[in-house]
Amino acid sequence: MNVRIENPERMNLMGLLMRGLLETSLKSAAGHRAARKLRGDVRVNAGTMGVTLSFTENEIVLRGGESGKPRASVRGEMKPLLEMVAGGSLVGPVLRRKVKVGGNLLMLLRLLPLIRPAK
């Protein structure tokens, strides 16, 4: 399973940070399993930066900005999003509306092993 950035020279910082995160996660069995089960697009908006993650059978493609029709979305400021990813509480920021989620929540749950690095 590969992680590929479409047009990396123009990718925003959030997308570049996510690439490293996904590549690390894919090295774990749990992360790899999670990625193989996912299909379709997830949109992540961190502050003013947007990234669309497209899950296919063999790769995860990162695109800058908004493209396609996402099945799920996550939106928030950079700090609460990164805190979640770095192992902080998942529920708290969502309940406090610091992080907003939308679309297929089951898909977001399946995404978790990929965006929270293995301890």
Partner 1 sequence: MKDFLVNLLGRENVLHESAALAPYRDDYCEADASDPALVAFVTTTEQVQAIVREAARLKKPLTPRVAGTNVGGLALAPAGGVILDFTRMNRIHEVNDTDMYAVIEPGVTQQQLKDCLKERGGSLTLGYSLAPPHTSILANALLGGLTNRSLKYGDQSQWISGLEVVMADGTLVRTGGWALQGVAPYGQVPFPALTGLFVGWAGTTGLCTKMAFQLWPQHKFNRRLFVLTYSPRGTFEAVRRLVRREFCDDIGGLSWPSAKMMLGVKHPHPEPAPGEPTFILYVDLTADIEEEMALKERMLNDVLASVRRMEERIEEPLDIHMLLKVNPAMSPFAEFPTDLEFLTNHGGGGLSWVGTYGPLSKFEAGIEAGTKIMVRHGFAPMIVTRPMRGGHYGVLRFVEIFDKQNAAEVERVKVVNHELLNMCTELGFVMYKTPSWAFEVLKPRIDPGMLGLMRTVKDALDPHGIMNPGKLGL
* Residues that bind partner 1 in the complex, under the rule CB under 8 A: 8-13, 16-17, 19-21, 24, 47-50, 64-65, 77-79, 82-83, 85-87, 117
Q: Checking phi first, is residue 97 left (phi over 0); if not, alpha (psi -120 to 50) or beta?
A: left
Nearer to partner 1, 49 or 94 (CB): 49
Dig out the tokens for 59 from the structure: 């790769």
Least distance in angstroms from the C-beta of 26 to partner 1: 14
Is the torsion defined by CA of 106, 107, 110, 114 positive or negative?
negative
Least distance in angstroms from the C-beta of 75 to partner 1: 13
Alpha-carbon distances of 97 from 32, 77, 85, rounded to whole Å: 30, 11, 16
Nearer to partner 1, 32 or 98 (CB): 98
| Amino acid letter, 1 | M
Nearer to partner 1, 1 or 49 (CB): 49
